[in-house]
Amino acid sequence: MVIKKVCCIGAGYVGGPTCTVIAYKCPEVTVTVVDLSQERIDQWNSEDFNLPIYEPSLVEVVKECRGRNLFFSTDIDTAIQEADLIFISVNTPTKTFGLGKGRAPDLKYIENASRRIAKIADTDKIVVEKSTVPVRAAESIQRILQANNKPGCSFEVLSNPEFLAEGTAIRDLLNPDRVLIGGDETPRGRRAMEDLACVYENWIPRKKIILTNTWSSELSKLAGNAFLAQRISSINAMSAICEATGADVAEVAHAVGTDSRIGPKFLQASLGFGGSCFQKDVLNLVYLCEALNLPEVAAYWHQVIAMNDLQRRRFANKIISSLFNTVTDKKIAILGFAFKKDTGDTRESSSIYLCKFLMEEGAHLNIYDPQVVPQQILSELKYPSICDDPKKVDRLVTIFKSPYEAIKDTHAFVICTEWDEFVTLDYQTIYNSMLKPAFAFDGRRVLDHDNMQQIGFHIETVGKRRNMKGLNGYTPVTP
């Protein structure tokens, strides 16, 4: 079958950019992205291109294709009916209650989407799981579809996980390291995989398109994210040793990363990784191992998360101990709330946890982020597991539109997200506007620490013990 019409269920961080690029690169394919949320679809369709997600270059690509062969709609049924191929790109958050709480992914959105396809479709469809799912989820989708099969209509389920990273989504989609397609090892399964591969071949060399069995494809996505998260936890574990010994984690990362077997990427120590994928997918893997009665394997992977939790806690403790062991009623500016630069996404951002720890100590927080809207920051902090009293958040948190305003009259500022603009701020002016001694905490290692110290700041960072000499006579209190 030549794929002419594609439907994508879910217009979020994965479905939106992925299908936009497919439409861009395959002008002869009609792509319709559908969602239950009218608000989200209205934003994708907005005249001023005020899209629901911030992603560099996304607007330009949407402008090129929207209304030509790219459409956003809430008419899910029509899009399903007309499509040759349907991507399922719905959310799969970690369960917050019931069996597998805190570990297993909640598959209710996947199941609902599958049931909708089963009910509506009356011609052959290739159904593709794009969302990250547990191994053997395709089997559940296939069973739901088969149990509701209409005469003369058959479904082939494929796994085609997405490897894009937020902030670089368009670049990653245009030039991926690989495209992974998993399917049934039957002639029909093979044909469906080839049909999907043909879509990607419009812009991706065939040698980058890997075909595997369904379970390998599903597991590879979890494994990929687990390996990446593990690298960050490994370098963060080293950062703790560096802080205790006088080694510098950047030098260690460079020395280790020049070994071509290890490589230099994903060795940036930080206040902990965030994002919607790493924690969720590692926990998903842990749950899978537990279910398979592999407790040692589960414990091995769980340590990646434990290390990340520790890193966030260690960084908060460093702030508190530097500020003379108390932050109660002190003012601290938080620079950056997104989980990384170039995105407005705050899911599992380490900023949230840092704010939680500091609010528990009664600190007043002035928060600034260039992309995250105030409502989003407040709703993350008012989540019951972060702060059980929303009034406390209202009392302790103020959101600012400028970093200078956020830092003015504070005891300290903390860089939580590595936004480029934080590197070039006028730190002399900032220093002059702060209470003294003025403290700077660089959770991303983006500042020139010697220069900051010269200005007069007491600067602390991750993975490097700062020289305690030359602090304008200030002697830190040891806990």
* Residues contributing to the site for ligand UDX (CB under 6 A): 162-166, 225, 228, 232, 266-268, 270, 273-275, 277-278, 339-340
- Cβ proximity to ligand UDX: between 231 and 331 the closer is 231
Q: Give the one entry of ligand ADP, ligand UDX, none that residue 113 binds, where binding means its C-beta sits below a cut-off of 5 to 8 angstroms depending on kind.
A: ligand ADP
CB 138 within 8 A of CB 159: yes
- Cβ proximity to ligand UDX: between 301 and 339 the closer is 339
**Positions 97 through 156 that interact with ligand ADP (CB under 6 A):** 109, 112-113, 116, 131
Torsion of CA 356, 229, 141, 74, to 10 degrees: 50
Residue 37, interface with ligand ADP (CB under 6 A)? yes
Residue 311, interface with ligand ADP (CB under 6 A)? no
Q: Which residue is nearest to ligand ADP (CB)?
A: 12
Side-chain half-sphere CA neighbours of 387 within 13 A: 26
Count CB atoms within 10 A of the CB of residue 115: 15
Q: What is the DSSP string of 177-189?
A: S-EEEEE-SSHHH
Q: Crossing angle for the helix pair 249-257 and 214-245, nearest 10 degrees?
A: 140
Residue 198, interface with ligand ADP (CB under 6 A)? no
| Shortest distance in whole angstroms from residue 368 CB to ligand ADP | 24
Q: Is 8 known to be catalytic?
A: no
CB 231 within 8 A of CB 223: no
CB 362 within 8 A of CB 396: yes
AA letter at 80? I
CB 444 within 8 A of CB 460: no
- Cβ proximity to ligand ADP: between 226 and 438 the closer is 226
Residues in contact with ligand ADP, shown as a per-residue x/- string from 9 to 28 under the rule CB under 6 A = xxxxxxx-------------
d(CA 369, CA 50): 18
Residues in contact with ligand ADP, shown as a per-residue x/- string from 226 to 265 under the rule CB under 6 A = ----------------------------------------
Of 277, 289, 355, 416, which is the active-site residue?
277
Residue 94, interface with ligand ADP (CB under 6 A)? no
Query: Which segments within 89-201 are labelled E, that is strand?
Result: 125-129, 155-159, 179-183
Residue 276, interface with ligand ADP (CB under 6 A)? yes
Q: Give the one entry of ligand UDX, ligand ADP, none that residue 275 binds, where binding means its C-beta sits below a cut-off of 5 to 8 angstroms depending on kind.
A: ligand UDX
Q: What is the DSSP string of 266-305?
A: T----S---SSSHHHHHHHHHHHHHHTT-HHHHHHHHHHH
Residues that bind ligand ADP (CB under 6 A): 9-15, 34-37, 40, 76, 89-91, 109, 112-113, 116, 131, 276
Catalytic residue numbers, as ranges = 277
